[in-house]
Amino acid sequence: MKKTGMMLLAFGLFALVGCEEETKSYAWYSENPDETYDTYKKCKESGNDSENCKNARRAAVSFSHSYNSPEISDKFNKLIKK
Question: Residue type at 7?
Answer: M
pLDDT of residue 50: 96
CB within 8 A of 62, min separation 6: which ones? 30
Give the model's confidence band at 66: pLDDT under 50 very low, under 70 low, under 90 confident, else very high. Answer: confident
- What Rg, from alpha-carbon coordinates, does the chain have? 18
pTM confidence score: 0.73
Does 11 score more than 70 pLDDT?
no
From the list 62, 80, 63, the residue with the least C-alpha distance to 72 is 63
By the 10 Å C-beta count (0-12 exposed, 13-18 middle, 19+ buried), 73 is classed as middle
